[in-house]
Structure 1
Amino acid sequence: MKIIKFEDLLVWQKSIDITVLIYKHFEKHPDFGYSNQIRRASISISNNIAEGFERSTNKDFNRFLYIAKGSCSEVKSMLFLGFRLGYFSDLEMKQYCSQLDEIGKMLFGLSKSLKIDY
């Protein structure tokens, strides 16, 4: 099946899912700086996938996938900080990290499938 719009990409769908979870988790959180940054980083994953998909070349798309992967790692790093600050339970931490690991692997796989020659 040929993907004709970014919304059909499973990795984009999963990145939206984690963003919704993070937004809901921090809906009324008192640490505005932290919650704002983790929200922005999580949004960046799906936005970079979408923006890259709409670029004219696989090379451009690949660049945006790497940016999305970086944002994925930023969210995960913030989760570790949030966990140490008591913002997440053990179970939440494991679930969120598992989802981010899966998204990261999917981004890597999608990037590899583009077969970019540099």
Structure 2
Amino acid sequence: MAVEVYKATSRLPNDEKYGLVSQMKRCSVSISSNIAEGSGRGSSAQFKYFLNISQGSAFELEAQLIISNRLELLDNELSANLIEKTMEIQKMVYALDRSIKI
């Protein structure tokens, strides 16, 4: 997801470099980074904690993609594709979180 977001944000105007572009890049990287960090922790409770952070980042990314589309910074097809993938990630993180017993 992060790679696709980086590619998509390269199309955005330079004046968004420190606005939406920066936010979208950070939260897209945060999704996988928090899953990785949580899985490397010593307990299921810590893993679930980091999955929750990852989930929050996925919802943040979805909101930013919607805003970018409404501002016509990303076209409808690209936005729809990225939002769909983000929602799929949200479902996967949720299912993983639910599968972990503490």
2:61 is matched with: 75
For residue 90 of structure 2, the aligned residue among 104, 114, 118 is: 104
1:93 aligns with 2:79: yes
Gaps of 5+ in 1: 1-17
Q: Which runs of 4+ in 1 moved over 3 A?
A: none
Gaps of 5+ in 2: none
TM-score calculated relative to the size of structure 2: 0.92
Alpha-carbon distance in 2 for matches of 1:41, 1:99: 14
SS in 2 for 1:87: coil
CA-based RMSD: 1.0
Alpha-carbon distance in 1 for matches of 2:53, 2:10: 26
TM-score calculated relative to the size of structure 1: 0.80
SS in 2 for 1:115: coil
Counterparts of residues 43-62 of structure 1 (less than 5 Å): 43-62=29-48
Alpha-carbon distance in 1 for matches of 2:73, 2:41: 37
For residue 27 of structure 1, the aligned residue among 10, 23, 26 is: 10
Deviations 1:36-84 (A, max 9, x none): 1110011100100000000000110001001000000000000111011
Alpha-carbon distance in 2 for matches of 1:28, 1:78: 15
Number of residue pairs the alignment of both structures matches: 99
Per-residue deviation, 1:27: 2.3
